[in-house]
């Protein structure tokens, strides 16, 4: 079902993105070592890589670095190694995995779960074994969370890209600027500098795609939606497929147009504010800036002036610029020639 609200895994539930799927396919086929999938939240990065893995003739698994971080407050090499082995068990069975890693010390199995006792080497040893076995795709979803580790994953990636010709790494990131900061692909000092890679930037759906998505999704589940309702939903949700899906899902559950949009907005505000809470903890100014932009101030100086009025004091230019830059890195603001904008209408709504 196109309106299934979970990240998609099956092609028949996945609308379009044909170009992106083909780009992934070609990159893996050509043994490109590194592919980066970028895009703000809810544009379908996880779904894209899931569907790709499902359709691809090459074996592969997806690891969610964001989830690992929220579980352990860091993303250690052992946690990654464990995830990789458990993923492999799911796709090839435990016996094959035991065979694959035979001789690597410090790994034990408890049913279908894996325990890793030894520090260091294990992760690279496992990757070497995978490489010997044949072509393999390792997706690290929300890879900017790899920065929460004592290990230097960028060095490890550079090593893997040079040495493991059978493995393609696909890294996704919704906090686009943070992932770029971590990889520094264009910086001569970065271990990854000069390595070939393919970048895919997921964009919002166009108006036509959004309308078509809602139309096809409604037809699929047999609900009546009028053209006016479709236009209004697309107008309000602006090509963000995650929100279009939730609107459609609410309609599928039996809500009318107004209620479906209303419920979606209520839920979206809660989701967005909860996602934002970690930034708010770092500095309450992040939230104030978002509120100022959501209420229609967009230029550097207008936003700064409003923040100074709220706080009743002058703010250092450099500090202020850093706050804005960080909001851009996290994907909450986009910088254009006209100033700073919130790229997602429901994020804007949450701060209004
Ligand atoms: N091409 C698509 N066709 C149909 N539904 C989609 C498509 N892409 C994404 N979705 C739906 O949109 C929602 C968000 O998708 P997904 O979780 O894959 O996005 P994401 O970019 O990984 O988001 P996040 O940044 O929050 O991790 C899900 O409900 C998913 O089912
Ligand atoms: Mg995702």
CA-based nearest residue to 196, from 156, 147, 162, 167? 162
Class of domain 205-272: mainly alpha
Which numbered atom of ligand 1 lies nearest the CA of 16? 1
Q: Return d(Cα 338, Cα 35) in angstroms, integer.
A: 31
Task: Give Cα separations from 165 to 27, 36, 157, 158, 289 (angstroms).
Answer: 13, 17, 12, 12, 46
Class of domain 283-352: mainly alpha
Query: Which residue's alpha carbon is at the smallest distance from atom 1 of ligand 1?
Result: 15
Residue 197 phi, psi dihedral angles, 5° rounding? -155, 165
Which numbered atom of ligand 1 lies nearest the CA of 172? 22
Q: Which sequence spans correspond to the domains of the chain?
A: 17-201, 205-272, 283-352
Q: Return d(Cα 182, Cα 38) in angstroms, integer.
A: 13
Cα 241 to averaged position of ligand 1 atoms, centre (Å) = 6
Q: Which ligand is nearest to the CA of 13?
A: 1
User: Please, which contacts does 305-314 make with residues 24 or more away whose CB atoms are closer than 8 Å?
Assistant: 311/285
pLDDT at 248: 98
pLDDT surpasses 80 at 119: no
State both tokens at 29: 């086929």
Query: Which residue's alpha carbon is at the smallest distance from atom 29 of ligand 1?
Result: 5
- Residue 120: pLDDT band (50, 70, 90) is low
pLDDT at 201: 97
Handedness of CA 38, 25, 242, 145 (dihedral sign): negative
CA-based nearest residue to 172, from 276, 310, 44? 44
Query: pLDDT of 206-246, one tens digit each?
Result: 999 999 999 999 999 999 999 999 999 999 999 999 999 99
pLDDT surpasses 90 at 111: no
pLDDT surpasses 70 at 132: yes
Query: Which residue's alpha carbon is at the smallest distance from atom 11 of ligand 1?
Result: 242
Radius of gyration of the chain (CA): 22
Which numbered atom of ligand 1 lies nearest the CA of 2? 4
Query: pLDDT of 18-61, one tens digit each?
Result: 999 999 999 999 999 999 999 999 999 999 999 999 999 999 99
Cα 242 to averaged position of ligand 1 atoms, centre (Å) = 5
Q: Return d(Cα 49, Cα 210) in angstroms, integer.
A: 21
Which numbered atom of ligand 1 lies nearest the CA of 50? 18
Give Cβ neighbours of residue 18 (< 8 Å, ≥ 6 apart).
Answer: none
Query: pLDDT of 85-100, one tens digit each?
Result: 999 999 999 999 999 9
Ligand 1 pocket: which residues have CB below 6 Å?
Answer: 2, 4-8, 14-17, 39, 41-47, 174, 241-242, 245
Indicate the fold that domain 17-201 takes in CATH. Answer: Rossmann fold (3.40.50)
pLDDT at 112: 86
Residue whose CB lies within 8 A of the most ligand 1 atoms, among 17, 242, 343, 344, for a mutation test: 242
Q: Return d(Cα 302, Cα 287) in angstroms, integer.
A: 16
In the structure, ligand 2 is a single-atom ion and the residues with CB under 5 Å from it are 46
Which numbered atom of ligand 1 lies nearest the CA of 246? 29
Residue whose CB lies within 8 A of the most ligand 1 atoms, among 6, 7, 179, for a mutation test: 7
Determine how β-strand 60-64 pairs with β-strand 136-141.
parallel
Residues of the chain with pLDDT > 70, as a percent, come to: 99
Q: Return d(Cα 21, Cα 14) in angstroms, integer.
A: 11
CA-based nearest residue to 169, from 181, 182, 177, 157? 157
Q: Which ligand is nearest to the CA of 246?
A: 1
Query: Which residue's alpha carbon is at the smallest distance from atom 10 of ligand 1?
Result: 44
Determine how β-strand 339-341 pairs with β-strand 334-336.
antiparallel
Give the CA diameter of the chain. Answer: 66
What's the whole-number mean pLDDT along residues 135-152?
96
Q: Return d(Cα 268, Cα 272) in angstroms, integer.
A: 6
Cα 261 to averaged position of ligand 2 atoms, centre (Å) = 23
For helices 65-72 and 77-92, angle between their N-to-C axes, nearest 10 degrees: 130
Cα 41 to averaged position of ligand 1 atoms, centre (Å) = 8
Q: Which ligand is nearest to the CA of 9?
A: 1
Give all strands (DSSP E) within 244-325, no chain letters: none
Neighbour count for residue 313 (Cβ, 10 Å): 8
**C-beta of residue 139 within 8 angstroms of C-beta of residue 62:** yes
Q: What is the mean pLDDT of the chain?
A: 96
Residues counted in the chain: 352
Give Cβ neighbours of residue 68 (< 8 Å, ≥ 6 apart).
Answer: 75, 79, 80, 83, 145
**C-beta of residue 63 within 8 angstroms of C-beta of residue 226:** no
């Amino acid at each position: 079902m196109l309106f299934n609200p979970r990240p998609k895994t099956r092609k028949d539930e996945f609308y379009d993105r044909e170009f992106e799927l083909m780009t992934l396919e070609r990159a893996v086929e050509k043994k490109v070592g590194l592919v980066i999938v970028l895009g703000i939240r809810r544009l379908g990065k996880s779904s894209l890589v899931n569907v790709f893995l499902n359709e691809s003739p090459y074996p592969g698994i997806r690891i969610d670095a964001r989830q690992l971080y929220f579980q352990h407050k860091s993303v250690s090499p052992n946690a990654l190694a464990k995830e990789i082995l458990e993923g492999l068990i799911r796709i090839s069975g435990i016996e094959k995995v035991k065979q694959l890693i035979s001789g690597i010390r410090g790994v034990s199995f408890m049913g279908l779960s894996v325990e890793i006792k030894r520090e260091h080497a294990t992760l690279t040893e496992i990757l070497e074994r995978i490489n010997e076995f044949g072509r393999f795709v390792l997706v690290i979803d929300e890879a900017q969370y790899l920065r929460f580790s004592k290990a230097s994953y960028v060095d490890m990636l550079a090593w893997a890209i040079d040495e493991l010709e059978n493995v393609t790494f696909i890294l996704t990131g919704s906090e686009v600027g943070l992932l770029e900061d971590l990889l520094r692909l264009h910086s001569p000092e970065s271990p990854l500098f000069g390595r070939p890679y393919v970048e895919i930037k997921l964009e919002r759906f166009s108006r036509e795609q959004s309308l078509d998505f809602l139309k096809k999704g409604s037809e699929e589940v047999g609900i009546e939606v009028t053209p006016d309702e479709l236009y209004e939903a697309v107008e309000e949700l602006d090509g963000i497929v995650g929100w279009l899906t939730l609107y459609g899902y609410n309609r599928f559950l039996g809500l009318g147009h107004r209620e479906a949009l209303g419920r979606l907005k209520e839920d979206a505000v809660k989701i967005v504010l909860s996602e934002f809470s970690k930034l708010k903890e770092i500095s309450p100014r992040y939230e104030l800036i978002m509120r100022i932009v959501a209420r229609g101030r967009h230029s550097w100086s207008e936003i700064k002036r409003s923040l100074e009025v709220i706080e009743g004091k002058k703010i250092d230019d450099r500090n202020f610029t850093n706050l804005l830059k960080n909001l851009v890195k996290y994907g909450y603001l986009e910088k254009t020639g006209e100033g700073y904008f919130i790229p997602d209408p429901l994020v804007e709504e949450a701060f209004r």
